Every structure is written in structure tokens, then in C-alpha cells.
Amino acid sequence: MEALDKLKERFPQAVLGEETSCGQAMVYVDRNYLLEVMKFLHDELGFDHLADLGGVDYLGWKGKGKKPERFEVVYNLYSIGKREFLRVKVPVPEKDPWVPSVTKIWQVANWFERECYDMFGIRFKGHPDLRRILMPEDWKGYPLRKDYALQPEEEWPEYDKVRAKARELCRYEWGDRKVREG
Amino acid sequence: MAPTVEVVQKQCGHPEWEEPFVVNMGPQHPSTHGVLRLYLELDGENVVKCDPRIGYLHRGVEKLSENMTYTQAMILTDRLDYISSAANNVGYCLAVEKLLGLEVPRRARLLRTIVCEMARISSHLLWLATHALDIGAMTVFLYCFRDREWLLDIYEKICGARLTVSYPRVGGVRLDFTSEIIDELYKFTEEFPSRILDYETLIDVNRIWLKRTKGIAVISAEKAVNLGLTGPSLRGSGVPYDVRKFKPYDAYDEVEFEVPVGKIGDTYDRYRVRMEELRQANRIIRQCLDKLSETEGEPVVAEEAPDLLMPEKKKTPQAVPHPKKGFLVKGAEVPVVPEGEVYVSIEAPKGELGYYIVSDGSGKPWRVRVRAPSFVHISSIPELIKGHMVADLIAVIGTLDVVLGECDR
Amino acid sequence: MEAVLKMATPWLILILEALVLLVVALLHVAYTTYAERKIIGHMQQRLGPNRVGPRGLLQPIADVVKLVAKEDIVPSGADKSLFYLAPFISLVAGATSLAVIPVWEKFALANVNVGLLVILAMSSLSSYGIILSGWASNSRYAFLGGLRASAQVISYEVAMALSLVGVMLMAGSMNLSEIVKAQVASPFKIYAIPQIIGFFVFMVSAIAETNRTPFDLPEAESELVAGYFVEYSGIRFGLFYLAEYFGMVVMSALAVTCFLGGWAGPFEIPGIPFFWFLVKLYALIFFYIWVRATLPRYRYDQLMGLGWKILIPLALLNIVITGLIKVLV
């Protein structure tokens, strides 16, 4: 692929590897060079549409392909002008999970990165407003990590408060509707 | 970007600080299209700051899919954008098929295209209905619902469900159309163009409608791409990006249709684009129906497609006690998907709906990520509403056509 | 004793008349809501109320019973006295205006010489109810609705008053009965033809004055949920509702009186002297409902622009033209 070759030529030290899966080109990029690579892809190679940004947790990965680090942040890029697709993957170690934010290049990344932070706990350096987005603000843990149980042992602490409130308001209910116990 | 408590406390001491007039619009509000909550700071009628807060409908679809087989996870996609569930199913199936390397029979592809376009029409009708109602035109609302009802009835005949259809499946579709359904669809496509004219006469030449939509929330082509807008919201700005044309899937490369684009990218342009899309969708359905007769009697499921039903459990299942609840029966064989990863996007009625699936070669997806157009569109509201009024905010939410089930997942 | 009775008789008659008028007006208001739902229903391809009584005819009564039986909730942060007072101000102001409307030649409860002024004053007063309710509810939506209402009512008040000046000039009186008589004597029989500009301005500002679509910004349900009465419930909510429809009936009656020739018609209907008045009134109420089913809502600034930039200049132009004709002819 042309874009991939140009990328390798320009940033030989940043590209960690490349792969093809189901006919889609993938390139692994070192997170320290990510901002420059992305800027190059956006400004000069015309990848103007950041189709998707998300994280993947490879804890306990049983597949054949080797995963150097626990997390990966995946950028699916598309060039509307050239009709080209490219996937950029950034390995993120478990110890110090951070990635530079690409919000300045694509504004759409703002909420994608917030979601990724919310779900995986990966911090995006330089993000203007890194808050939880889908989960409540005082939520503990990162739900899409593989070690986060589907049904956690402990409930969200606020849930008790909500239930207590519901029980208190229960006496205003008409008929015999009751707040379920449990 | 709401200030934290400390910042507010610090500002309170400042002599020039005035408490902003904060309105918390939603999550229960008649025109936020679901449980969208907007934190607004107003200066009279003008919106100074707008911060959408989402997550009230978060059901953890992505986490749940990781714990289900590929066929089980498909029904979760129905609940994303529940207005156009068929399109969501198709997107998911396409992604899994790509991982499996499955070739879908032609008749199944035609049928999928038909239900996708039906989903587009019913979604756009609901959009028009609520958009008009938000701006105050009540009659359009009920006119649109009349026609949407017809489509939902056809859905019911096709697969028994009206809203969450789960009609496509990995490798094809569940059932073939009966001749009765095809006749009904012919009748619908015959009748529908005149219905579109009805709506247009109601609002197209209405001065108040024009005043409320023209020049509102204008967004340039470049900005729209940068904000990640897709679908009609992007095409309203003049960018002809349509996944159906750019990366044709199903039978879209066989049919003829045009991609309508707007000029300046205001609310009115987006309205025109969607109205034109209704016509094009009707046209596509018509062409697919004609082609259906060519493929009479052909199979609608690929031969090597994985079974829908869970195979019979083994006589002595290896029952593994779940830490909390009863037993989760393992030991049943499920279709295995080869290792790999894929990003497949389709042109859902709301915009580009993408599925990024990572498979580790087992029966369950390792990671399913849904690129929801509504999520992106809501994130662009603060940008679009700059310098507008509260009343325009309603128009902006309407024009972006968001569904919170898809946004929160 | 006889003397007392003689003194009291006119008062008793007056009270009786007032009661009759109020009951008839209330029935009209109640069935205007029914008519609105039924007409809009048919315009929107649905049936409208059809469960309570034959063809749903008892629906308004069922609504009243329901509203009375509902709990009357007062928000804890509200200014209680104003909160209680506001719906009554709206309703009383609306209902009082009826007193000066001449239903037919011999029936005007208060045949005062400044009838027009009374109506204008009362419709201004009714806006106090809206503003106070918005303020007293201590809710953001209600507050915004109240603000919108105050701005809107004040600016459209001006346009409406100016549009009526032409009528005053032509009739030479502010007594509503005199205006009708002057109309009948005039060459066109109704003022709507020579005062076409005034009539147009009056109708538009009357819709705005009564907060109905397309000028229903104070209660825009898709933006402000319900606007100024969002915190009201039960019968207090019902009173606001009632006041809105009272306003609609009063404005239509005023239009009939000032522009459409009041009780006069092409021919006499024996026994029912107010026949033509009612026919014209119903036609105008139908017009109100029709508009509601057809038009979207204006935005706040567009509404003010329409009021100050179009309607008021038009009304002024109308006054000048009327004055010139009056002087020259």
C-alpha cells in the first residue's frame, strides 16, 4: 500500500510492524511518535476521517498472534478523497497506560478518547477534558478490561442510596407497587 | 466542560463572577430524543455553554458481546439504534462474515438491501416527525407515523417483530420473503413518493419552517469531516461520502441511486438531503424487488454458515458453577471464527455505523467495538450550537438525528 | 319593603345576567377544547376523543373532574402566595373582558363607553398571571417561559392596540355597541374590508396575545417543557388552561365585534338574535385551531422582529391611511 510505504519511509523509527487482516492494512506505531505520525497521515496523506478509535485489552490472549503489551489503542482511519483505509495500532503497556491525544488533529477524537479512558483507564496526554463519559463520575474500575468481572462482587456504592431513596418514595405510590427487595 | 466544585468555589469569591443561569435540559425532556442530558449555561435566550452528558442508557453491549457467541451477540445490535435495527444487524453480520470469509448468496444480499432501505425510510420518517414536532409543526408528526406504521407492519410480516427484527443472520437472512410481502412492498413503493410530496407541501414552503431551519447550525465541509459527522449530516455540508457508494456492500453495487448533497450545510440542507434520501431509498427497494424475481427459489443462507441454534448439549455437560448465579452450561459447541480483526462500516440511516471486531480464534468475540454515529453526532452539538439560541438547540438535536440507545450502547 | 325590592331588582338582574353569561362562556370554553381536539384530530388523520359519552362529547367534563381530583402539588422552593394567586389573575382577567362584549343589541353586561380600553387593560393584566407564575414557581423552565411571555405580551399588546385605533377612528367611539352600530351603518357593513390591514394585524397579535401556535413560545413544550406553568398541577393547571381558552374566546369575540359586524348578519334569524354573532365567533375559533394544526413555532427573536418590525409599522400605516380618508372624505 502506497500510504504505508510513505509512512515507513518518513518515520522508520516509529513503525514497529505491519500486518494485514481480512484485507485491511494495519500498522503498529510507537506511542512516542504517534502525534507526528498522525499529523503526517492527516495533513499529507489525506486521512481526514477518523472513523473509529477504541481500545483493546489483550489480557489472557489465547490467539496465535503475539501481543507485546497488554493494551492497544486502535485508530481506524479513512481517506474520503483517496478512498483508502488504514488501521493504526498503538501498544500501551499496563504499567503506565498513556497515549498522546489526537484531539488537536481530529476533533472527533475528543469523545472517543474519553470513552477509551472510561472503559480501559488509558490516559490521553494533552486531552482538554478527560472525564468519564458513559459511566457515573464516581465509578470505580474500568469495565471493558478483561479482569473486570461481568457481575462484580461489589455493587456501585451509590446504588444503595438510590434504592434507599426509592424505598422512601415508595409510600407515595398508588396501589401495591413495591420497590423490589434485593 | 463543567467546572469542578473547587473551581466554582474559587470563582464565587471573585468580585466579577456572576452565577451563570444553568438549565439542566434532560434526561427527561420531551425533545432530547431519549435520555440525553444537556448542561446549558444561558445568557437570556442565548446558549453560552453546552455540555452533553450521556450514559443514562449504557447497557454494556460491548462487554456483553465478549461473553456471548457470535450468533448470540447479534441480537444485542438490535438494541443499539432501535429505530433501524435491521441496518445494525446487517453491519454486524457483514463484519463476522468478513472474518469467516463467507460468501452470501445473491438473493440474501438483495433481501438485506431491501430491509436496510426499509429501515432507512422508517428511521427518516421518525426523524422528520420528531424534527417537525420539535419545531412546532404537529401535523407532520402524525402523517409520518401513519406511513411508518405501514412499514412496521411489513416488518412484522417478514419476521414477526416490528422493532427489533434480528432478520439478517451470519451468512444470509433468516427467512425468504413470501409473495404476499413482495406484493405489499410493491404497493408501498408505488404509494410512497406521493406521501413524500404530502410532507413537503406541509413544511417545504412554510415561511416559519424556512426561518427556523435556514442558516441554523451551519457547518463547513472541512469542519464536518473533522468533527466526524457522517451520513446525511455530513452530506448536508456537501461532502458526498456515502459508504454505500465508497465501499459497496450487499447489493448496493447492483442498484442505481444517487447520493444527494447539500450546499451550505445548514439545518435546511440536511432536511433536504434526508427527504431526497427517502426517494432514493424507495427507488432502491423498487429495483431490488424487480431483481428478486430473477433469483426466485435460490437459497437465502450460505451453505457453510454457522448454525443459528445451539447444538444439542452433550449428555453429561461439564457444568461449571458460576460464582454467583446457578450454572452456566459449557460444553456446547459453538461456531468458531478464525483469528483476525476487521473494521466494517455500513451506511446506517444515522450515519456511518462501524463494527470493529477482534477474534482470537474461539467461539466468542474477543472485542466488539461499535462506532455509533449518534455518539459522534452528539459530541458535535457544542460546536454546532455556538452563538445560537435555546430554540435552535432543539432544531440542532433534531437535525443531527440521534438515538440514545446507540450513543450509550 | 317594596322600595328595597325596587332598588335591588336591577342588581339581581345584573347578577343573574352575569351568571348566565359566565356559565355560557364556560361551556363554550369547555367545548372549545373538545372542538380543538376533534378538529385537529381529523386534520391529522386520527379520531380525537371518542370514549367518554357519545362521540366523546362528555370529554371536557371528564377532564374537569380529573383535574379537580388530582393532587395539587406546590414545589417546596416556590413563593407560595404568588404561586396560588397567579392562575386566578389569568382567569379573572380573561373572564372579566367578556362583560363588555355586546352579544346582541340588548345584551351587553356592562355597556361602558370605554369598552375597548377595558379589554386591552384586562388582556395586559392577564400577562401578570403568566409572569408571576413563572417567577413564583422557582423553576428554570418556568422562569424562561415567564420572561418570554412578558416580552411577547408587551410587544404584541402595542400592535393590537394600534390596530384597533383605526376602528375607533372610523366608528368615532370606544363603546363596543356603538362600534357595531356604526359598522352596520357604514357602506361595507363590516370594518374588515376598509380596515383590512388593521384586521390582519389584530388577528396575528391576538394569536400572540393568547400564546397559541405559532406564537406559543412561553409554553413551547418541546423547548421549555410547558413553560410558565410547568410546576402547576391539578386544578391550578386547569385554571391556566381555562384562561388560555377564555382568552381565545374573548379575542375572537372582540374581532367579531370590531371587524365583522357583531350581531348583524345578512338577514334576521327570528328568535335567535345572537345567531350571527355565534356563527362568526365559531368561524374565528376554527381559524385559531386550524392555524395550530398547520404552523410550526417561531423563534424568540424572530417573534419580536415580526412584532416590532412588521406589525407595528403596519398598524401605524393603517392609522395614517384611516385618518387621511377620514379627513378627506
Q: What is the pTM of this model?
A: 0.84
Amino acid at B233: S
Question: Where residue A175 falls among pLDDT bands split at 50, 70, 90?
Answer: low
Mean pLDDT of B178-190: 89
> Quick check: B93 pLDDT over 70?
yes
* Confidence at residue B323, expressed as pLDDT on a 0 to 100 scale: 38
Phi and psi (nearest 5°) for C41?
A: -55, -50
B108 and B25 belong to one structural domain: no
**Cα B80 from Cα B62, distance rounded (Å):** 11
Pick among A53, A89, A107, A131 to test the B interface (most B CBs inside 10 A): A107
**Cα A90 from Cα A37, distance rounded (Å):** 11
* Confidence at residue B307, expressed as pLDDT on a 0 to 100 scale: 64
- Contact check, Cβ <8 Å, A22/B324: no
Residue B369, domain member (yes or no): no
Residue C48, domain member (yes or no): no
Q: Which chain C residue has the Cα nearest residue B147?
A: C45
B198 and B143 belong to one structural domain: yes
- Which of B42, B135, B389 is the closest to C296 by Cβ? B135
Residue A53, domain member (yes or no): yes
Cβ A117 vs Cβ A123: under 8 Å: yes
Amino acid at C177: S
- Contact check, Cβ <8 Å, B67/A108: no
Cβ B366 vs Cβ B136: under 8 Å: no
**Cα A65 from Cα A56, distance rounded (Å):** 14
Q: Which chain C residue has the Cα nearest residue B392?
A: C299
> Quick check: B331 pLDDT over 50?
no
B47 and B98 belong to one structural domain: no
Cα distances from B168 to residues B74, B109, B164, in angstroms, run 9, 10, 11
Cα distances from C226 to residues A59, B31, C66, C140, C244, in angstroms, run 52, 12, 19, 11, 13
Helices B106-135/B390-400 angle, 10° precision: 170
* Confidence at residue B168, expressed as pLDDT on a 0 to 100 scale: 87
* Confidence at residue A1, expressed as pLDDT on a 0 to 100 scale: 64
Phi and psi (nearest 5°) for A55?
A: -105, 160
Residue A160, domain member (yes or no): no
Amino acid at C24: V
Tell me whether C41 touches chain B (CB under 8 Å): no
- Counting the structural domains of chain C, the total is 1
B194 lies in which domain range?
Answer: 70-303+380-400
- Contact check, Cβ <8 Å, B371/A63: no
pLDDT in tens, A38-80: 888 888 888 888 888 888 888 888 777 777 788 889 998 888 8
pLDDT in tens, B200-259: 888 888 888 888 888 888 888 888 888 888 888 888 888 888 888 888 888 888 888 888
Residue A123, domain member (yes or no): yes
> Quick check: B320 pLDDT over 60?
no
Q: Please list every residue in chain A whose beta carbon sits closer than 8 Å to the beta carbon of residue B408.
A: 134
**Cα B56 from Cα B405, distance rounded (Å):** 9
Residue C282, domain member (yes or no): yes
Q: Please list every residue in chain B whose beta carbon sits closer than 8 Å to the beta carbon of residue A64.
A: 339, 361
- Counting the structural domains of chain A, the total is 1
Cβ-Cβ contacts under 8 Å for B225 (sequence gap 6 or more):
A48, A49, A80, B234, B239, B241
Tell me whether B336 touches chain A (CB under 8 Å): no
C148 lies in which domain range?
Answer: 70-328
* Confidence at residue B262, expressed as pLDDT on a 0 to 100 scale: 86
**Cα C109 from Cα C153, distance rounded (Å):** 27
Cβ A107 vs Cβ A85: under 8 Å: no
Residue A157, domain member (yes or no): no
B99 and B164 belong to one structural domain: yes
**C308: DSSP letter:** I
- Which of A57, A64, A133 is the closest to B55 by Cβ? A133
The string of DSSP letters for A89-157 reads: EEEE-SSS-EEE--TTT-TTHHHHHHHHHHHH--EEET-S-----SS-TT--S-TTSTTS-SS-SSPPH
* Confidence at residue B389, expressed as pLDDT on a 0 to 100 scale: 83
CA dihedral B99, B105, B107, B109 (to 10 degrees): 20
Its ipTM equals: 0.83
Amino acid at A93: P
- Contact check, Cβ <8 Å, B98/A74: no
> Quick check: A108 pLDDT over 60?
yes
Tell me the nearest-neighbour CA distance from C213 into chain B, angstroms.
8
A90: domain CATH number? 3.30.460.80
Q: Which chain B residue has the Cα nearest residue C230?
A: B29
3-state SS class at A64: coil
B130 and B248 belong to one structural domain: yes
Residue C299, domain member (yes or no): yes
**Cα C311 from Cα C303, distance rounded (Å):** 11
Tell me the nearest-neighbour CA distance from A36 into chain B, angstroms.
18
Q: Which chain B residue has the Cα nearest residue A58?
A: B366
Pick among A24, A56, A134, A155 to test the B interface (most B CBs inside 10 A): A134
Pick among B42, B142, B148, B271 to test the C interface (most C CBs inside 10 A): B142
Residue B277, domain member (yes or no): yes
**What does pLDDT average to over chain A?**
82
Q: Please list every residue in chain B whose beta carbon sits closer than 8 Å to the beta carbon of residue C299.
A: 211-212, 389, 391-392
Q: What is the distance between the terminal CA atoms of chain C, rounded to a whole angstrom?
A: 58
* Confidence at residue C81, expressed as pLDDT on a 0 to 100 scale: 85
- Which of A24, A61, A107 is the closest to B343 by Cβ? A24
Residue C56, domain member (yes or no): no
Q: Please list every residue in chain B whose beta carbon sits closer than 8 Å to the beta carbon of residue C145.
A: none
pLDDT in tens, A12-44: 787 888 888 778 888 888 888 888 888 888 888
- Contact check, Cβ <8 Å, B132/C298: no
* Confidence at residue C176, expressed as pLDDT on a 0 to 100 scale: 81
B133 and B251 belong to one structural domain: yes
Cβ C182 vs Cβ C167: under 8 Å: no
Residue B355, domain member (yes or no): no
B29 and B150 belong to one structural domain: no
Residue B334, domain member (yes or no): no
Residue C156, domain member (yes or no): yes
**Cα B54 from Cα B57, distance rounded (Å):** 8
Tell me the nearest-neighbour CA distance from A151 into chain B, angstroms.
8
Residue B341, domain member (yes or no): no
Tell me the nearest-neighbour CA distance from A177 into chain B, angstroms.
22
Residue B350, domain member (yes or no): no
Cβ-Cβ contacts under 8 Å for B232 (sequence gap 6 or more):
B270, B273, B274, B277, B351, B401
* Confidence at residue B321, expressed as pLDDT on a 0 to 100 scale: 43
Residue A71, domain member (yes or no): yes
Q: Please list every residue in chain B whose beta carbon sits closer than 8 Å to the beta carbon of residue C45.
A: 142-143, 146
Q: Which chain A residue has the Cα nearest residue B102?
A: A22
Percent of chain B with pLDDT over 70: 88
* Confidence at residue A23, expressed as pLDDT on a 0 to 100 scale: 80
- Counting the structural domains of chain B, the total is 2
Question: Where residue B327 falls among pLDDT bands split at 50, 70, 90?
Answer: very low
**Cα B314 from Cα B330, distance rounded (Å):** 10
A101 lies in which domain range?
Answer: 2-136
pLDDT in tens, C222-251: 677 777 788 888 888 888 888 888 888 888
Q: For the beta carbon of residue B242, count every other beta carbon within 10 angstroms.
A: 23
* Confidence at residue B310, expressed as pLDDT on a 0 to 100 scale: 53
Residue C254, domain member (yes or no): yes
> What averages of pLDDT result for each successive group of 10 residues across chain C (329 residues)?
78 84 85 88 85 85 87 80 86 83 75 82 82 83 82 83 86 82 79 82 86 75 73 84 85 86 76 81 89 83 85 89 84
- Which of A52, A61, A135 is the closest to B356 by Cβ? A52
Tell me the nearest-neighbour CA distance from C265 into chain B, angstroms.
34
Residue C14, domain member (yes or no): no
Percent helix, strand, coil in chain B, to 5, is 45, 15, 40
Phi-psi region of C295 (alpha: psi -120 to 50; beta: other; left: phi over 0): beta
- Contact check, Cβ <8 Å, B63/A143: yes
Residue A169, domain member (yes or no): no
Tell me the nearest-neighbour CA distance from C214 into chain B, angstroms.
8
Q: For the beta carbon of residue C98, count every other beta carbon within 10 angstroms.
A: 22
- Comparing C174 with B336, the larger pLDDT belongs to C174
Question: Where residue B9 falls among pLDDT bands split at 50, 70, 90?
Answer: low
Residue A149, domain member (yes or no): no
**Cα C302 from Cα B210, distance rounded (Å):** 12
Cβ-Cβ contacts under 8 Å for C288 (sequence gap 6 or more):
C207, C212, C248, C252
Residue A58, domain member (yes or no): yes
pLDDT in tens, C154-190: 888 888 888 888 888 888 888 888 888 888 887 777 7
**C211: closest CA among B136, B18, A87, B120?**
B136
Question: Where residue A162 falls among pLDDT bands split at 50, 70, 90?
Answer: confident
Which residue is associated with the grid cell 441511486?
B257
